[in-house]
Chains A and B, each alone.
Chain A
Amino acid sequence: MRRETSLFSRLVLRVALVLCGGAALLATAAWYYARAAADDAYDRLLLGAAIQITANMTVDAGNLAVTLPSSAFELLGLAERDRIFYRVVGPDGKTLTGYDDLDPGINLSSARPAPIFLSANYRDVPVRMVIVSRALSDPSFSGWAYVVMAQTTEARRALAGELTTRAMILVGIMSILALAGTVLAIRYSLLPVGRLASTLNARDPQDLTPVEVDMPRELKPFVGSINHFMGRLEERVSLLQRFIADAAHQIRTPLTALTAQVDMLDDDDLDADRKRRLGRVRERVKQLARLTNQLLNHAMVIHRSDSVRFKPVDLGDIARKAFRATVPVTVDPDVVVSFEGCAAPAIVLGDAVSLREAIANIIDNALQHGAVQRLAVRVERSGRRVLVEVADDGPGIPQSEWPAVTARFVSSKVGEGSMGLGFAIAAEVAAAHRGTIRFREKAEHDFAVILDIPLYQESER
C-alpha cells in the first residue's frame, strides 16, 4: 500500500529533522562551553591553593621548609567531593613532601614562566593538575621549587553536567516552540490550497469561466493552469454544441422531406407485416424529427442565454402561450387538460422565448410520457418566487432518476419512452434565470414538475 504523501507532514518532518540536528549541535556546544567554564572556575581554586603553598615556602638554615596551610586544602575542599593530591619538589628535584608518584609527565621547569594546567590520570582517576613554580633567592639557598597540585574532577563534571542540562532544557523548549510555530505557519500557509479546492468543488460543473479566488503568489501558476485548461475545455464544448446545432439544422431539411415521403406512402395494398413495419418507420421518423427539433431548441436556448438581454416578462402569459402551443387540438379526448393562471402578475426577469420553450418541453414531456387522464398546468406565486407546476396522473419519474434528468446536457437514452432532451432544455433555461427544476413525488397529489423562477424585483434595476 502506497503511503499518501502530504505537504504538511513533509514540511513538518523536515523542519523537525533540522530542529533536532540544531538541538544536538547546540547541546554539544553547550557541553563544551560548560566544561570549559567549570574547568576555568575550579582551575582558579586549584591555582590559588598551589600559590598558597608556594607562598609558605621558607628557607631556614639552608633548608627548604614548607608549611602546608590548612586554608589551601579548605579552598580545594570547596569542591566537596574531590580528592586532593599534591607534591612539593625542591630545587634538587627531590620530593619534599606529598605524593611522590604524582608525576605530571612534563618537565617541571616549563612551569617557570607561568603556571601550567594539565588534565591527566592519577591512580586511575582523572585529575586536573597545576604546576606552580617559585624562585628561591636566598643567598644560602637558591633555585626553583615547584608545587604540583592535583584534584579529581567530580565537582567540575557535576557543574558542567548541570550547566549542560540547563542549556539543554532551554534548547528543548525553544525547539518545541519552533516546531509548534512551524506547524501553525504551515497550516496557515496551506489554507489557500484548501480554499481553492473547496471553491473548485463548489463550482457548478457547467461553469467553465476562469476561477477567480484570491491566491498567494505561489499558487497563481496553479490557478492559471486550471483557468487555461478550463478555457480550452470551454472552447471545445461550445465547438461541440455548435457542431451539434449545425448537424441538427442540416439534418432537418432532409428529415422534413423524409417525413413527407413516408407520409405519402400508401399502405393500403401492403400485407399486414409490411404495414406494421411501415408504421414503425413512421414512428421512428417522428421521434427523429422531435429529437432534431429539441437539439435545435437547445442550441437556440444556449445561444439566447449567452446573447439575449433579459427583460421583465409575465411568466403567467408565457406559460399560457406555451400551454396553447403544446397541447394539440387533437389531444386524446380521454385526457382532461387544464390551465390555471395566476391572479397577480407573475413578472420575472428573463427571456420569453427561452422560458416558453422550457415550459413547452415540460408539458410536452408530460403529454408524451405521463398523462393518462389528467394534465394540469398551474402558475402561482410563492413568496418571492414564481412556480409553474405541470402535474399529471402518470406514473411519474422515480426519485432515483431526478438528478439524472435535470442534469443539463445529460440526455437519457433516446428511444421508446425516453424523455429526450426536454428536461435538459428546461433545466438549462431555469439555470440561466437563476431558478431550478424540481419534482413533486406522486402521492395524494399527482406527480408534478415545477419550474421555479425568482420573482422580478423592481429594485434589481
Chain B
Amino acid sequence: MIWPKIVPLACAGVLALTTTAGAVEGTRTFFPALDAERGRLVINGATDVEAMEPLIRDFQATVRDVAIDYTDYVTNDLYRDADIACRLKQPFGDILLSSSVDQLVKLANDGCALAHVSAETRGVPAWANWRDEVFGFTFEPSVMVYHKDFVPPEDVPHTHGELTDLLRFKPDYYRGRIGTYDLRQSGIGYLLAFLDAQQASTTYGRLLESLSRANAVLRCCNNAVLSELDSGNVFIGYNILGSYAYAASRRNDKLRIVLPRDYTLILSRGALIPVGAKRQDLAGRFLDYLLSVRGQKVARQKAFFFSHDGAVPADVDGPAKLVESGIGRPIRIGPALLAAQDRLQRSRFIDDWTNLIVNTPVRLRPN
C-alpha cells in the first residue's frame, strides 16, 4: 500500500511545519546578530535553511549588527502567502527567495515587487534579471540522481530518453523506486515539468507515461526525495536540483549525479523584495551580498556548488561545459514564465499529470 502511505506522510510533514511556526507556515530559524542587534531582516524563502545558512552567516560577518529571521516555506505556500499579502497590502518579509522563479515573476508582474538597482545588480546577466525586481542568484542544473548500489552501471540513464527506456525495459525492478516532485505541492516541480513539456513534448509524454507505469514516488520537496534515495527506498531521483543533490552526494557517496546530455534545464533561484518590505535597505544589502563576488563564492563552495562561470564539480557525470555545449538551458527570468503561471494552464497541466501519475490504477507492489 505504497500510495496511501505517501500522502499521509507528506501531509504529516506539512502539518509538522505549520504547527511549529504557529501563525507562520514553514520552519522558522533565527540567526541572532553577532553584535548588539540594530536591525532585523526577515527572509521568507523556499530554500532549505541548510543551503542558506552559510550565506546568512557570511552575510552577518559583513553586517554584524543585523539579526536574520529566516522562514522556510514550500514554494506554493510562499507564493500564496506573498500574493495574499500583496493584495491586502500587508508586509510579508523583507526579501523572498524561491526556486520557483515563475511565481516570483508573476508577483513582479502583479506589481508586488520593489526594484533594486546597485553595482551588483548591474552585473547580473540579462536572463537572470527582470525589471530589476526579480534576480536569479544561483545556477542550479536540474539533474538525475541514482543510488550506486541499486542501479548497475549499464542502467545509468544519461538522457531523458534513456530513463524512459530503462523504465520500459525493467519495469518491475524500478517500480516504486523512482522519486520525483509532486507537482501539486511543489511550484518548482511544476515549473520543471512544464518546461520539460515545452523542451521536448514527445520525450516528456513518454517519460510521464513510464513514470506512471513505474508508480513513481512523489514528494513535496527535493530533500524528501533525496532522503528516500539515501535510505535506499528510491533508486533514481528525477528532476532534482543539482545543489541539493550535490549536498546529499557529499553526505552519502553512494549517491551519484547525472546531468542529462540531451538537455539540462538550469534554474537560477530567484530573489525579490516585496512591496511592503519594512527593511528595504537591509533586503537590498542582502540581495547585493548574494549577487556579490563574495556571496557567489560562498554559494559555490558551501551552498549551491554550481556556478555560471565555474566548471561542473568533478564527480558529477555530465558535460564539462554546460552552457557552452548548448546542453544547459538556463531558464530565462522574464515574462515568458507567465505562461506557466496561467491558472487555467496550470490547473489543466497538473490535472493531466495527476490523471496520469496518481489516478492511474496500478498494480501494487508487494512490500
Contact = CB atoms under 8 A, between A and B. Distances in A.
Interface of A: 65-74, 76-77, 80-85, 88, 96-98, 123-125
Contacts of A80: 126, 130-131, 334
Given A69-B339, A70-B339, A72-B339, A81 B345 contact: no
A114 B343 CA distance: 28
A76 B339 CA distance: 12
A68 B338 CA distance: 9
A77 B344 contact: no
Contacts of B292: none
Interface in B274-290: none
A70 to B, nearest CB: 4
A84 to B, nearest CB: 5
A108 B109 CA distance: 24
Given A77-B335, A80-B334, A81-B131, 4 more contacts: A66-B344, A74-B334, A80-B126, A84-B338
B348 interface: yes
B198 interface: yes
B336 interface: yes
Contact of B342 (A65, A68, A82, A123): A68
16 contacts: A66-B344, A68-B344, A68-B345, A70-B336, A70-B339, A72-B339, A73-B339, A76-B335, A77-B335, A77-B336, A80-B130, A81-B131, A83-B108, A83-B109, A83-B111, A125-B111
7 smallest CB-CB distances across A and B, nearest first, come from A97-B344, A77-B335, A70-B339, A74-B336, A73-B336, A68-B342, A68-B339
A189 B88 CA distance: 74
A67 B345 contact: yes
Contact of B345 (A84, A97, A125): A97
B344 A84 contact: no
A72 B337 CA distance: 11
Contacts of B111: 83, 123-125
A313 to B, nearest CB: 99
A73 B338 contact: yes
A85 B106 CA distance: 10
A454 B342 CA distance: 111
Interface of B: 108-111, 126, 130-131, 198, 334-340, 342-345, 348
A1 B345 CA distance: 82
Nearest to A74: B336
B334 A77 contact: yes
Contacts of A76: 335
B260 to A, nearest CB: 21
A269 to B, nearest CB: 127
A65 B334 contact: no
Nearest to A99: B110
A85 B335 CA distance: 10
Contacts of B126: 80
Q: Which of A71, A83, A85, A88 has the most CB of B within 10 A?
A: A83
A76 B334 CA distance: 10
A65 B348 contact: yes
Contacts of A66: 344
A51 to B, nearest CB: 16
Given A77-B334, A80-B334, A84-B335, A98 B109 contact: no
B356 to A, nearest CB: 17
A3 B329 CA distance: 75
A98 B342 contact: yes
A67 B336 CA distance: 14
Nearest to B344: A97
A67 B339 CA distance: 9
A57 B113 CA distance: 32
B15 to A, nearest CB: 32
A76 B335 CA distance: 8
Q: Which of B108, B130, B339, B345 has the most CB of A within 10 A?
A: B339
Contacts of B108: 83
A67 B110 CA distance: 21
Contacts of B338: 73, 84
Nearest to A84: B335
Contacts of B335: 73-74, 76-77, 82-84
A72 B339 CA distance: 8
A68 B348 CA distance: 11
A291 B343 CA distance: 125
A49 B239 CA distance: 31
A180 B260 CA distance: 69
Contacts of B343: 97
A231 to B, nearest CB: 82
